[in-house]
Amino acid sequence: MTQTSDNVTWLTQEAYDQLKAELDQLSGPGRIAIATKIEEARQEGDLKENAGYHAAKEEQGKQEARIRQLTQLLEHAKVGVAPADTGVVAPGMVVTIAFDGDPDDTITFLLGSREYVTSDLEIYSPQSPLGSAVLGKKVGEDAEYELPNGGTASVQVLEVKPYQG
């Protein structure tokens, strides 16, 4: 689970270890594997019409972008513990809200980063309109946020609990 504050990303030790393992895989064996794919495709002939070569080069580009993303994330990460069960909406908390106070129109989501989540929960960033509206709220409190169409939506916080992974 992650929490983002300005340029710092807070990670649990488990999240940090998983992201570090992914980075190590991509930048070591992953680079070797993609280079081998490119070389094998290159040997198949004319590069202009070689779909395997172009697919491998595209895969390499995506892999290198992910390596840069993980490197930057881990360089600025602070490792900590999961949030305490304070009943206050904060990064790392699972939040259930009701739209317009209607207990039948609810969603449950994790307030945090999409970077590390092994859950089926929807994830909202603390910087998103909904995330920033409910940040700091307690159960029973209302919040309003701006919709993409310029309107506003009102929600009520029904439940707040720490994400258990």
Same domain, 71 and 107: no
Binned at pLDDT 50, 70 and 90, residue 5 comes out as very low
What is the pLDDT, as a whole number, of residue 159?
93
| Domain, as residue range, for 9 | 2-80
Contact 50, 41 (CB under 8 A): yes
- Supply the pTM of this predicted model: 0.59
| 99 within domain boundaries | yes
Please compute the mean of the pLDDT values over residues 140-152 and round it to a whole number. 92
Same domain as 43, residue 102: no
DSSP state of 88: B
Residue 108 is inside which H or E element, if any? Answer: strand 106-111
pLDDT reading at 139 higher than 80:
yes
Total structural domains within the chain:
2
pLDDT tens digits, one per residue of 23-78: 999 999 999 999 999 998 888 877 777 888 889 999 999 999 999 988 988 887 77
H-type alpha helices, the chain: 13-25, 31-42, 51-75, 129-134
- Cα 140 → chain centroid: 27
Which of 3-12, 59-68, 155-164 has the weakest average pLDDT?
3-12
